[in-house]
Amino acid sequence: MNGKIFWYRNRSHLRSYGKHVRSLVLIICIVSGVLILSIPTSVDAASRLEPQVSITKTGIQISFATTYPSGHAQLFWTDAADIDPPSLMSFPEYRYAMSDKGIQQTHRFNLPFQPDPAKKSQTIILPGRTIHFRVTCIEQMPDALRVRRSKDDTFRIIETLQGERKPGLVFTDGPFVANVFADQATVCWETNLPAQGTFSYWKVGQAPPRKIAVHDPNRRFKITLEHLKPNTQYYYRIRCSMSDPEDVIQSPCYSFVTAVKQGKPFKFAIMGDSRANSRTPDPDAALNGVNVPTLNTLSRQALQRDARFVLFSGDLISGYTNDLADIALQYRTWRMAVNPINAFIPYYCAMGNHDTAAPRPEKNKSTPGRYAEDIWRDFHVLPENGPLPEKGLPTYIENVYSFNYGDCHFVSLNSDYYYLRGLTPEDRFGRTIDLRQREWLKMDLEENKHQRFTFVFFHSPAYPNSGHLGNSLDRIPRIRDAVWEILNDYNVDAVFCGHEHNYCRMIVDHQVNPKWTNPIVQIIAGGAGAPWYGQNTKVPWTASVQKFSIDSHFVMASVAKRAVTFEAYNELGKLIDRFTIHKKKK
């Protein structure tokens, strides 16, 4: 079925589409008299929409299937040429829409190559052009209606010299920057088909650009640049090609800035817990396990406030699935939300319990299963200086690491290492920092004790103040105190956590435990999209809490020579907290 094509001359109709979905569902509820659940509260792989693109003789067919009969199916799409590159939005502004009002489990939309003379106005697909699209529908479950959407996706069709139409190259991930330091940086990207790549980069006043060519066809590319100048802006562009002369793609021009020299000021951002939120009326807040609008909005604000990088304290996705395809879709959706920002600044992420709930290795098989830490590495490019694991246990590489930036030292720990569901308090791992990490942490802090400021970040807080009391590092107080003793002995300045979906600032000092002689700020920054948690004022350390908020938020840290100023902003850009810490005597 072809459906009917609508052209939205006023793009505000498409931007406001998500805001009115809830009203649409409620209207249907009144008419049909059924109970409404606009978004399922559990992680359900069957609820994902993954449209398929195929080439027919007359055009492009985009189809998708639902578990139950669904109606009000729509296809939104736009030519990439209509987007002002590089856009910082997770979704482009779709110019066109097609509707299919039938109620069935499979929906198909046809985008023609040639106009139909019988139709006055029709949009066609031009060879060589990149198309962004997504699909939506309302599914009729046995006891509810729910709105379902796909993430943004792309396709491109090329026409050979022989007149054959076939899939063309598109960027399926990135480009994104990682591990940006004073003298080096890494840039990564992915294409849908194996291709050759050329990476060009330059700084102002430099001509011609330097080029790095990858001649062996690949889908995933990772380029590490060395011998860069500190605190310098570098521009870059990527070109990929195949043997067909028509199959060439080129990215917009992006840029990154290398790390400052020691003693120079800079800013960074802190946020965490962007997993799905089913409490809001916007279906995109629970899109494939990710709250895409909130994560994208906070990330854009951090970039616009000149953050050089983002520390992310875990629970990127909803996880809790043994379906590898589903967890890959969740991570791809997270990347889609941050890619427009990640093209300019890196994200340094810590693993959370939702990120780690992946298949465990299967016993008694010649080929073991994959650990969650292995799956994590598939989707992240992070420093690789963590400790070596015990025999038979997962890797620490890229989930436990440290790096220096300016006068600051940053350490990421894994508070849910080798986490499996169904843990009991007697289990060795889960909501804790194991002995191997603690030994490495002490060694790492000793080697970097000359740094002016030291920050440590991990997912589960040592001192929770909300819904995870007894389900954080306080699950085993003896080990919690062993971790904090190291932080206390090495005069760590601040600890950043997530897990609890709120903003909470407290001072951990002798009032919490007489042994803690060096006050350390614990900041819980778990407001990047997950459902909020209220404060528990009955915890033993409530008197040490200095600020609490349930707003979605991120934290900006401004590093100066002798002090660091922290400012927490909500999703609307309103300041909700501000404080300063001063240089300690190391």
Per-residue pLDDT tens for 363-408? 555 555 678 899 999 999 999 999 999 988 899 999 999 999 999 9
Indicate if 225 and 350 belong to the same structural domain: no
Tell me which residue has tokens 């043994």.
Answer: 322
Query: What is the extent of the structural domain holding 457?
Result: 266-582
Listed residues 165, 188, 212: the one ending a domain: 165
User: What whole-number percentage of the chain has pLDDT above 90?
Assistant: 73
Q: CB atoms < 10 A from the CB of 78, how many?
A: 22
pLDDT of residue 323: 86
Indicate if 38 and 112 belong to the same structural domain: yes
Query: What CATH number should be reported for the domain holding residue 194?
Result: 2.60.40.10
pLDDT of residue 160: 85
Among the listed ranges 10-24, 337-351, 416-430, 490-504, which one has the minimum average pLDDT value? 10-24
- Number of domain units in the chain: 3
Indicate if 238 and 279 belong to the same structural domain: no
pLDDT of residue 418: 84
Average pLDDT over residues 95-124: 86
Among the listed ranges 17-26, 118-127, 226-235, 576-585, which one has the minimum average pLDDT value? 17-26
Helix axes 435-447, 477-489, angle to 10 degrees: 10
Indicate if 363 and 490 belong to the same structural domain: yes
pLDDT of residue 368: 55
Among the listed ranges 161-170, 215-224, 491-500, which one has the minimum average pLDDT value? 161-170
Indicate if 159 and 274 belong to the same structural domain: no
Please list, in sequence order, all residues whose beta carbon lies within 8 angstroms of the beta carbon of residue 382, skipping any fewer than 6 positions away: 178, 179, 348, 349, 398, 399, 401, 412
In contact, 355 and 379? CB cutoff 8 Å: no
Indicate if 291 and 214 belong to the same structural domain: no
Range among 30-39, 84-93, 361-370 rated most confident: 84-93
Alpha carbon distance 528, 16 (integer Å): 21
pLDDT of residue 41: 36
Indicate if 397 and 527 belong to the same structural domain: yes
Tell me which residue has tokens 């296809």.
Answer: 75
Position 206 confidence tier, pLDDT thresholds 50, 70, 90: confident
Average pLDDT over residues 452-479: 94
- The token duo for 584 is 């300690």
185: three-class secondary structure by DSSP: strand
What is the average pLDDT value for the chain, to the nearest integer?
Answer: 88
pLDDT tens figures, 300-355: 999 999 999 999 999 999 998 888 889 999 999 999 999 999 999 999 999 999 99
Please list, in sequence order, all residues whose beta carbon lies within 8 angstroms of the beta carbon of residue 170, skipping any fewer than 6 positions away: 130, 154, 155, 156, 191, 192, 249
* CA nearest neighbour of 393 among 422, 414, 408: 414
435: three-class secondary structure by DSSP: helix
Indicate if 159 and 184 belong to the same structural domain: no
Q: Is 234's pLDDT higher than 80?
A: yes
Task: State the sign of the Cα–Cα–Cα–Cα dihedral 335, 572, 21, 273.
Answer: positive
Indicate if 507 and 420 belong to the same structural domain: yes
Average pLDDT over residues 141-159: 92
Q: Tell me, letter by letter, the H, E, C secondary structure of 107-122.
A: EEEEEECCCCCCCCCC
Listed residues 200, 232, 257: the one ending a domain: 257
Query: What CATH number should be reported for the domain holding residue 357?
Result: 3.60.21.10
pLDDT tens figures, 471-508: 899 999 999 999 999 999 999 999 999 999 999 999 99
Indicate if 248 and 274 belong to the same structural domain: no
Alpha carbons within 13 A on the beta-carbon side of 244: 20
pLDDT of residue 204: 87
pLDDT of residue 322: 80
pLDDT of residue 365: 57
Listed residues 223, 257, 291: the one ending a domain: 257
Q: CB atoms < 10 A from the CB of 207, how many?
A: 6
Cis amide prior to 208 (ω within 30 degrees):
yes
In contact, 497 and 270? CB cutoff 8 Å: no
pLDDT of residue 6: 31
* CA nearest neighbour of 536 among 458, 459, 471, 456: 471
Position 361 confidence tier, pLDDT thresholds 50, 70, 90: low
pLDDT of residue 85: 80
Alpha helices in 166-323 (DSSP H): 292-304
User: What whole-number percentage of the chain has pLDDT above 70?
Assistant: 87
Tell me which residue has tokens 């079925």.
Answer: 1
Q: CB atoms < 10 A from the CB of 470, how many?
A: 11
- The token duo for 410 is 């940053």
Indicate if 130 and 175 belong to the same structural domain: no
554: three-class secondary structure by DSSP: strand
pLDDT tens figures, 257-293: 999 999 999 999 999 999 999 888 899 999 999 999 9
Greater confidence (463 vs 322) lies with 463
Cis amide prior to 92 (ω within 30 degrees):
no
In contact, 525 and 550? CB cutoff 8 Å: no
> Residue 32: what are its φ and ψ, rounded to 5°?
-90, -20
Helix axes 324-342, 292-304, angle to 10 degrees: 30
In terms of phi and psi (left: phi > 0; alpha: psi -120 to 50; beta: otherwise), the region of 452 is alpha
Q: Is 36's pLDDT higher than 80?
A: no
Position 357 confidence tier, pLDDT thresholds 50, 70, 90: confident
pLDDT of residue 162: 83
* CA nearest neighbour of 276 among 528, 561, 567: 528
Indicate if 360 and 423 belong to the same structural domain: yes
pLDDT of residue 82: 85
Average pLDDT over residues 413-428: 65
Q: Is 179's pLDDT higher than 90?
A: yes
pLDDT of residue 144: 87
Alpha carbon distance 89, 425 (integer Å): 43
* CA nearest neighbour of 394 among 424, 351, 425, 365: 351
